[in-house]
Chains A and B, each alone.
Chain A
């Protein structure tokens, strides 16, 4: 049986996968797309995509939402939440089985590395590869913050894991954002607190979002306007005065280091965030292996979705040569 391209994604709200699939159709590249939702139709484990049928895997997403609602007979906010977490873990357990049944080298990105990516580890690894990173610490007391503020005038607090959306029982939603601490608002910081990641705040000239694709960096510079809303994190969009997004080429040696870092993590694709300070120095911030690249592709006219389709095709042809 001939081997095929396997795309793991979700059935809804995944424009990037849809877009790549449309390119594959147009270029007449055969593929199999399995959405997490499809696992609710399986009859037995044999229905999962098999190693022998699969030549290359592009893992985008697990699932958008469970096709049915599951609830407890006696409804209660806290247990409902526990149940939700439990079902997610159950689903992930099944989904992650694929990480072991399909040979690791067939995955565009090593799935286990991708699912367990650790911000602190990535920063440390980046430094090992000679990349410049903002000073980063994890602290638990105000006293240390005061000392750090001697060294950097402003610090930002961000999660070690990912920003979350907090929901209250009434359905209100609160989005977690990056926050700045300086001498001016130090009084809000409690004496002792949960271990928190603080990072030196870089005064930026502009930000860079790079989509790394199999050895090539496709970068975009993001100039936020003199606008308070967007100073810290350009994802807090301001619709009236959008950021200027233009194609950018990183220096060759920086691209080389980023490529080595991606290799060390086992990633052939991913989004990389960087920042350029007022002096023009580059600072590596983080990697999102499953980052949306439509937001780089369209403004820069890069056709990344087409390039991903072509890369998948190239990978499968290459596999064929080996066998």
Chain B
């Protein structure tokens, strides 16, 4: 008898109506009806013949079609048995740093070399996003980046306002000098376009809208979905937007993310250790997608990120991200800004200007 072996790093996530087959190695995902997912699950216990018998002759063609599809996408293979050595993927998650990602909302008045920042980057932070809401001279950017030279940072993303002096040549020089800068977003640009610099290795996205505060953050869109081992495993246990992440807002206040209401002190007066020892700081990082209303029924929940700063019901921290227009019960995407049920939350957060 023949069996279909599904690779362990191809994970099925079931939603209300649809499922997602996440290929965590090839970083792709496939949106499937739940019926198809059910067949795939059945095949993980039974021979293909048994499956065909179970679903009846009428479905023979459909089912063999599914299997052909899975094989053509290299998601599994046929064999005369379900190979006993092919064990399930361990979905545990851990990292060797207490803070893995940092967001800084830049402010000239803050000293990014003082003790707080030194201690922070000594934790082996891997990713840093620096958001500039106002025009900044290239020299100042360089000075700031030079300050991170001795750290273990692997990835710096710059969010900058459009400025004629920051042409592609200048940016190219900048990233060559500071190769940890791996991505750039230029907002308030006259046109929307995508470029690549540093031998095509660093993407530069020009974005026509203005980003002048953190209010614009937290949007959920399909092109932000990522199917990979890191996100998928973290998402099983933690909040992928806030777990082990720390932000310093424009005014130097320490937060889970710039958009969150609470802060945990100011960089000039608070010791990093105090923040890390504060249970309240870790509270949101523990909220999993599987616990969030609507998201828990959504097939995208482990390729999606999250947002706890803007939620549909500001009184309920377990409610769905406000800025998501997906409905997993009807499988439709709507413009979240136009949803009548979201208007009161939009007003509560003062987001009227953003949604215009």
List A residues at the B interface (Cβ < 8 Å). Answer: 19, 22-23, 25-27, 205, 219, 221, 223, 225, 241-242, 244-251, 298-303, 305-306
Since A223-B77, A241-B74 are in contact, a sample of 8 more A-B pairs with Cβ atoms closer than 8 Å, ordered by chain A residue number, is: A23-B96, A26-B97, A205-B79, A221-B86, A225-B74, A248-B86, A250-B85, A303-B94
Instruction: Say yes or no: A246 contacts B96, CB within 8 Å.
Output: no
Map CB proximity to A onto B60-96 as digits: 1 under 8 Å, 0 otherwise. 0000000000000010010100001111111110101
Instruction: Say yes or no: B97 contacts A301, CB within 8 Å.
Output: no
| B235 is an interface residue with CB less than 8 A from chain A | no
CA A26 to CA B94, docked complex, whole Å: 11
Task: Give the shortest distance, in Å, between B90 (CB) and chain A (any CB).
Answer: 5
For residue B97, which residue of chain A has the nearest CB? A26
Q: Which residues in chain B, 86-133, are within 8 Å of chain A measured between CB atoms?
A: 86-92, 94, 96-98, 124
Instruction: Say yes or no: A301 contacts B233, CB within 8 Å.
Output: yes
CA A219 to CA B87, docked complex, whole Å: 10
CA A249 to CA B9, docked complex, whole Å: 15
Given A246-B86, A247-B89, A302-B90, decide whether A22 and B124 contact each other with a Cβ distance below 8 A.
yes
For residue A250, which residue of chain B has the nearest CB? B85
Instruction: Say yes or no: A301 contacts B85, CB within 8 Å.
Output: no
Q: Which chain B residues border A306 with CB–CB below 8 Å?
A: 94, 96
The contact of A246 among B7, B26, B97, by CB within 8 Å, is B7
Chain A interface SS verdict (over half) = mixed
For residue B229, which residue of chain A has the nearest CB? A301
Task: Give the shortest distance, in Å, between B151 (CB) and chain A (any CB).
Answer: 13
Instruction: Say yes or no: B229 contacts A298, CB within 8 Å.
Output: yes
Q: Which 5 A-B pairs have the closest CB atoms?
A: A26-B96, A22-B96, A246-B8, A249-B87, A23-B96
Instruction: Say yes or no: B74 contacts A301, CB within 8 Å.
Output: no
The contact of B90 among A22, A25, A245, A300, by CB within 8 Å, is A300
CA A167 to CA B6, docked complex, whole Å: 44
Instruction: Say yes or no: A244 contacts B25, CB within 8 Å.
Output: yes
Task: Give the shortest distance, in Å, between B118 (CB) and chain A (any CB).
Answer: 15
Q: Which chain A residues border B25 with CB–CB below 8 Å?
A: 242, 244-245, 299
Given A25-B124, A225-B74, decide whether A301 and B90 contact each other with a Cβ distance below 8 A.
yes
19 residue pairs A–B, Cβ–Cβ below 8 Å: A22-B124, A22-B152, A26-B96, A27-B96, A221-B86, A225-B74, A241-B74, A242-B26, A244-B9, A244-B25, A244-B74, A245-B9, A246-B9, A246-B86, A247-B87, A247-B90, A300-B90, A301-B92, A301-B229
Task: Give the shortest distance, in Å, between B100 (CB) and chain A (any CB).
Answer: 11
Instruction: Say yes or no: B91 contacts A301, CB within 8 Å.
Output: yes
Task: Give the shortest distance, in Å, between B25 (CB) and chain A (any CB).
Answer: 7
Q: Which residues in chain B, 142-201, are within 8 Å of chain A measured between CB atoms?
A: 152
Q: Which chain B residues border A205 with CB–CB below 8 Å?
A: 79
Task: Give the shortest distance, in Å, between A244 (CB) and chain B (any CB).
Answer: 5
Q: Which chain B residues border A250 with CB–CB below 8 Å?
A: 85
Task: Give the shortest distance, in Å, between B303 (CB) and chain A (any CB).
Answer: 16
CA A247 to CA B86, docked complex, whole Å: 6
Q: Which chain A residues border B85 with CB–CB below 8 Å?
A: 219, 221, 248-251
CA A205 to CA B84, docked complex, whole Å: 14
The contact of B89 among A26, A221, A300, by CB within 8 Å, is A300
For residue B232, which residue of chain A has the nearest CB? A301
Map CB proximity to A onto B256-290 as digits: 1 under 8 Å, 0 otherwise. 00000000000000000000000000000000000
For residue B123, which residue of chain A has the nearest CB? A26
Task: Give the shortest distance, in Å, between B8 (CB) and chain A (any CB).
Answer: 5
Given A22-B96, A26-B97, decide whether A248 and B87 contact each other with a Cβ distance below 8 A.
yes
Task: Give the shortest distance, in Å, between A208 (CB) and chain B (any CB).
Answer: 8
CA A72 to CA B177, docked complex, whole Å: 35
Q: Which residues in chain B, 1-15, are within 8 Å of chain A measured between CB atoms?
A: 7-9
Given A246-B7, A298-B229, decide whether A26 and B124 contact each other with a Cβ distance below 8 A.
yes
CA A225 to CA B88, docked complex, whole Å: 21
Task: Give the shortest distance, in Å, between A21 (CB) and chain B (any CB).
Answer: 9
Task: Give the shortest distance, in Å, between A136 (CB) and chain B (any CB).
Answer: 25
For residue A245, which residue of chain B has the nearest CB? B25
Q: Which chain A residues border B233 with CB–CB below 8 Å?
A: 301
Q: Which chain A residues border B89 with CB–CB below 8 Å?
A: 246-247, 300-301
Task: Give the shortest distance, in Å, between B77 (CB) and chain A (any CB).
Answer: 7
Q: Which chain A residues border B94 with CB–CB below 8 Å?
A: 303, 306
Q: Which chain B residues border A249 with CB–CB below 8 Å?
A: 84-85, 87
Q: Which chain A residues border B229 with CB–CB below 8 Å?
A: 298-299, 301
CA A26 to CA B126, docked complex, whole Å: 14
Q: Which chain A residues border B96 with CB–CB below 8 Å?
A: 19, 22-23, 25-27, 305-306
Chain B CB within 10 A, most for which of A19, A22, A302, A305: A22
Task: Give the shortest distance, in Å, between B153 (CB) and chain A (any CB).
Answer: 13
